[in-house]
A and B are shown apart, each in its own frame.
Chain A
Amino acid sequence: MLKIEHISTYYGNIQALKDISISVSEGEIITLIGANGAGKSTTLMSLCGIVPVRSGKITFDGQDITTMTPDKIVSLGISQVPEGRRIFPLLSVKENLDMGAFLRNDKEGIKRDIEYIYTLFPRLAERRNQQGGTLSGGEQQMLAISRALMAKPRLLLLDEPSLGLAPLIVQQIFEIIKKVNEENKTTVFLVEQNANMALKIAHRGYVLETGKITMTDNADKLLSNEDVKKAYLGI
C-alpha cells in the first residue's frame, strides 16, 4: 500500500534521513522504533509532504506522492497524529474534530462519526465545548487520535502517542490503536520510543539509527533480538 524507496531528507546541509526504504501492506500495524533524533518524526513529515524529500520515491497505492502538497496527500487517505499532539489550542474539542474532517463533505456522516468518537472517549463528549488547549495531556492525545480518525484515513500515522503520558493512559491509547486496526481495517504506521509497547501490538518493525534503517523483521522476532533488547528494551 505504502512504499518508501531510498529516500534522503536534509535540513539545510544536515542529512536527517539516509536512503530509507519502508513498505507497509494493507491492514498491517508496522512500527518504526529508534532513539531520540534518529529521524523518526522526519520520516513521517517527509511522507506527509511537510519536509521535502531530496532523493528517492514515495508511492501510495502505486501513485507517486513524493512531491505532492500535504493537503493532497491527506485527501488520498493518509492522516497523521503528530508528535506533541498539536491540538488547535483555541478551537473547541468539537471544532478540532471538525477540522479532522476538513476534506469530507458528508455532513450526516461527520455527525455520526463525531458521536462515535464521543462513545469511544466519553471524556471528550463531556468537554466538547471546551478549548482544546485546556485539556490534560491524555485527553489531548485522545483528541489528536480522534481528529485523525475523523478523516476516515486508510493509513494512520502515529508519532510517539505514548510520550509524556501516564502508563495507564498509554495502555488505553494502545488498545484504541489496536481496535482501530482490527475493526476499521485501518493500516497503522506507528513511530515510538517505547519499543516494548510498540512491538507488542505491531506486526512488523523497523529500527532506525541516526537516519538509517539498521534492522527490520517481524515484531515478535525483534522483541527477542539481543541487540534490540539491549538498545531499546532496557533488558
Chain B
Amino acid sequence: MNLEYFFSLFLGGMTRGSIYALIALGYTMVYGIIKLINFAHGEIYMIGAFTALIIGGALSLTSMNPVAIFIIAAIVAIVYSAAYGYTIEKIAYKPLRNAPRLSALISAIGVSIFLQNYVLLSQTSDFLPFPNLLPEFGFLKPVENFLSTTQFLILLSTAVVMILLTILIKFTKMGKAMRATAQDQQMAQLVGINVNRVISMTFIIGSATAALGGVLITTHIGQINFYIGFIAGIKAFVAAVLGGIGSIPGAVLGSFVLGLTESFGTGYISSDYEDAFAFIILILILIFKPSGLLGRKENEKV
C-alpha cells in the first residue's frame, strides 16, 4: 500500500470533514434549540463565499497585501452572513414559532430557493474563479505533497473554532443559557432567559461558522457558483444526522466520518460515486441507528 497516497487521502478527508463540521454546527445547534432543520443553512455558506469573492475582488484593485485582503474579505463575509442568518430567522422562522413544525420547514426550503435564485440573478450562473490570496507557508515544504497551505489553514481554523465554541458553550453564561433553552425552552423562560435572544445568537454563531467554511473551501477549490451551498448543505446535514442531530460533538464526529469516507471511497473505490457515499451513509444510519452516533433518544414530553 502506498503510504503517501493514504496520507493524502486521510488529510483530504480531514479537510472535507472540517468544512462539513463548520456547516453542520449550524444545523445541529439550530435543531437543538428550535427543532428546525434549517434548509437555508447551505445558502449562508454560499453567500459567505460570494461575499468574500466580491470584497476580495474589489480590494485586489488596490495595492493591498494579499494576505490582508484575504483576512478582511473573510471577516466581512462572516459578519455579513451572520447578519443574513439573524435576519432570516426573524423574517422566516420567528413568526412560525408556534405553528406546526412542517410550516417552518417549508419556510426554510423557500428561503433556500429564494437565496439561490437571488444570487443567480444578481451574479451569474457561471463558475467564477476564486483567487488564492495566500502565500505558501515555508514550514509546510517537507509535506507539500499531501498537505497544502489552504488545507493546513482549514484544519487549523476548524480546530480553533471548535475550541472557542466549546469554551463558549461549556463555561459562559450565554452558553449555559443555550443548553438550558435546548433542554426545556419553557423552563428557560421561567428562570428569566430571553429565549428570542438565545435563538438569534444560535443563528448568528451557526451562520458565522458556515461562512468561514465557505471562504476557506472556495479558497481551496478555487471557484464558486450559486449552487455550491446546496450540495455542501445537504452533506453537512447528513453529517449532523450521522453524529446525532442536536449534539455538537456529534456533528463534528459525523463530519469527520463523512469526510474520511468520501475521501477514501473516491481514492480506493471510484470517484464516480463521490456524492453517493454521503447518501449511503445516511440510509445506513437511518436504518440501524436513527438517533445518530452520539445522539440521545428523544423523549417526547407529554
Which A residues fall within an 8 A CB radius of B?
Answer: 48-50, 69-71, 74-75, 79-80, 82, 86, 88-91, 95, 98-100, 102-103, 147, 151
24 contacts between A and B (CB under 8 A): A69-B194, A70-B192, A71-B194, A74-B190, A75-B192, A79-B191, A82-B186, A82-B190, A86-B184, A86-B190, A88-B179, A88-B180, A88-B183, A90-B179, A91-B183, A95-B176, A98-B173, A98-B176, A99-B176, A99-B180, A99-B188, A99-B191, A147-B191, A151-B192
B299 nearest CB neighbor, chain A only:
A89
Closest 3 CB pairs of A and B: A74-B192, A70-B189, A103-B192
Decide yes or no whether B76 CB sits under 8 A from chain A: no
- Determine whether the beta carbon of B177 is less than 8 Å from that of A88: no
Decide yes or no whether B193 CB sits under 8 A from chain A: yes
A residues less than 8 Å from B188 (CB atoms):
99
Q: What is the CB-to-nearest-CB distance from B100 to chain A, in angstroms, rounded to a whole number?
A: 14
Decide yes or no whether B187 CB sits under 8 A from chain A: yes
The CB with the most chain B CB atoms within 10 A, among A49, A71, A98, is that of: A71
B177 nearest CB neighbor, chain A only:
A102
- B interface residue count range (under 10 / 10 to 19 / 20 to 34 / 35 or more): 10 to 19
How long is the Cα–Cα vector from A151 to B194 in the complex, in angstroms? 15
How long is the Cα–Cα vector from A86 to B193 in the complex, in angstroms? 15
B197 nearest CB neighbor, chain A only:
A71
Q: What is the CB-to-nearest-CB distance from A77 to chain B, in angstroms, rounded to a whole number?
A: 10
- Determine whether the beta carbon of B179 is less than 8 Å from that of A48: no
Contact with A along B170-211 (1 / 0, CB 8 A): 000100110110011011111111110000000000000000
- Determine whether the beta carbon of B177 is less than 8 Å from that of A99: yes
B residues less than 8 Å from A74 (CB atoms):
189-192
A residues less than 8 Å from B194 (CB atoms):
69, 71
B182 nearest CB neighbor, chain A only:
A90
- Determine whether the beta carbon of B180 is less than 8 Å from that of A91: yes
A residues less than 8 Å from B183 (CB atoms):
88-91
Q: What is the CB-to-nearest-CB distance from A191 to chain B, in angstroms, rounded to a whole number?
A: 14
A133 nearest CB neighbor, chain B only:
B183
How long is the Cα–Cα vector from A234 to B186 in the complex, in angstroms? 34
A49 nearest CB neighbor, chain B only:
B189
Beyond A70-B189, A79-B191, 8 additional contacts (C-beta under 8 Å) are A50-B189, A70-B192, A71-B192, A71-B193, A86-B184, A99-B176, A99-B191, A103-B191
- Determine whether the beta carbon of A86 is less than 8 Å from that of B187: yes
Contact of B187 among A69, A71, A82, A151 (CB under 8 A): A82
- Determine whether the beta carbon of A102 is less than 8 Å from that of B173: yes
A residues less than 8 Å from B177 (CB atoms):
99, 102
- Determine whether the beta carbon of A70 is less than 8 Å from that of B190: yes
Contact of B190 among A50, A90, A95, A98 (CB under 8 A): A50
Q: What is the CB-to-nearest-CB distance from B302 to chain A, in angstroms, rounded to a whole number?
A: 10
B residues less than 8 Å from A86 (CB atoms):
184, 186-187, 190
The CB with the most chain B CB atoms within 10 A, among A49, A90, A147, is that of: A90
B181 nearest CB neighbor, chain A only:
A88
How long is the Cα–Cα vector from A91 to B191 in the complex, in angstroms? 14
- Determine whether the beta carbon of B191 is less than 8 Å from that of A100: yes
B residues less than 8 Å from A50 (CB atoms):
186, 189-190
A147 nearest CB neighbor, chain B only:
B191
The CB with the most chain A CB atoms within 10 A, among B183, B191, B194, B195, is that of: B191
